[in-house]
Amino acid sequence: MVKKVLMQTYLWVLLLLLYAPILIIVIYSFTDAKVLGNWTGFSLKLYRSLCNTGAHHSLMNALINTIAIAFIAATVSTLLGSVAAIGIYNLRARSRKAMGFINTIPILNGDIITGISLFLLFVSLGITQGFTTVVLAHITFCTPYVVLSVLPRLKQMNPNLYEAALDLGATPMQALWKVIIPEIRPGMVSGFLLALTISIDDFAVTVFTIGNQGLETLSTYIYADARKGGLTPELRPLSAVIFVVILVLLIIINRRADKAKNK
């Protein structure tokens, strides 16, 4: 009995420690104190002023940039990753294993290394850094995740399906659209959502590829803001909103994964 209580306590303490920072931000987003830690009574003023873009134009700009980059990068990497997964699936066993391994390297590789190497690449090619380079960088690190979520769908598929489509008179292109894509669509959607969250979340790679033309994403804006001393109070409600959105996305992804497993 005592053991059980100890185990429970340990678990709850651990969870509290893990989530305390986020909880504090969420709680203090409902008060209008300038400094974090002061509770001056419940208020939605910060949420209101966040919606009022005039006041914090640069913050809203950063948010819009972040979302635009995330959607473009997620869309492109979903296309690239799905095509790559189909290619990898059709390789012979040994090459397939090798490609699978190569695909995991960018995932395991530190963001900072990816960031620096992309920075050096763009500089050496003489490409001016800005919106395009950030999008390209995000596509680079999102694609492997899409490959990872599409490959299992292909492996589950009856290997004769593609041949059956050809046999019934479909050209290879028609077989791809009418049979293969519908089969792997759940994997593609999961991959897209995953890419979206990773892209929104990224700081290390972004900061190396964003250039000095004044472009800001949310992560770089917050970083710069914090270095100037003190966070803009509106960041608290913004963080809370982003947290909830990401949470919802994650729940959707997990639900889908569970459904796929139960099928």
Partner 1 sequence: MQSEIKPIIEVKGVSKFFGEKTALDNINLSIKKGEFVTILGPSGCGKTTLLRLIAGFQTASEGVIRIAGEEITQTPPHKRPVNTVFQKYALFPHLNVYDNIAFGLKLKKMPKDTVLKKVKAALKMVGMTDYEYRDVNSLSGGQQQRVAIARAIVNEPEVLLLDEPLAALDLKMRKDMQMELKEMHKTLGITFVYVTHDQEEALTLSDTIVVMSEGRIQQIGTPTDIYNEPINSFVADFIGESNILNGVMVKDKLVHFCDRDFECVDEGFGENTPVDVVIRPEDLYIFPVSDMAQLRGTVQSCIFKGVHYEMVVLCHGYEFVVQDYHAFEAGTEVGMLVKPFDIHIMKKERICNTFEGKLIDETHVEFLGCEFECAPVDLQKVSLGDVLVDVDFGKINLLDNAEDGMLTGEIKFILYKGNHYHLTVWSDWDENVFVDTNDVWDDGDRVGISIAPEDIRVRVKQEER
Residues found near partner 1 in the complex (CB under 8 A): 158, 160-161, 163-172, 174, 178-179, 182-183
Shorter beta-carbon distance to partner 1: residue 163 or 258? 163
Least Å distance, CB 172 to partner 1, is 8
Rounded distance, CA 69 to CA 85, Å? Answer: 23
Least Å distance, CB 191 to partner 1, is 18
Shorter beta-carbon distance to partner 1: residue 172 or 230? 172
Least Å distance, CB 9 to partner 1, is 46
Shorter beta-carbon distance to partner 1: residue 124 or 158? 158
Rounded distance, CA 92 to CA 109, Å? Answer: 26
Q: How far is CA 145 from CA 33, 112, 196, 240, 252, in A?
A: 40, 18, 11, 26, 16
Amino acid identity for residue 175 in this structure:
A
Least Å distance, CB 48 to partner 1, is 47
Shorter beta-carbon distance to partner 1: residue 84 or 184? 184
Least Å distance, CB 157 to partner 1, is 8
DSSP string, 96-133: HHHHHHHHHHHHHS-HHHHHHHHHHHHHHHTPPPSHHH
On whether the CB atoms of residues 66 and 201 are closer than 8 A, the answer is: no
Rounded distance, CA 12 to CA 8, Å? Answer: 6
Q: How far is CA 201 from CA 21, 69, 220, 250, in A?
A: 16, 11, 11, 13
Rounded distance, CA 181 to CA 86, Å? Answer: 10
Shorter beta-carbon distance to partner 1: residue 36 or 157? 157
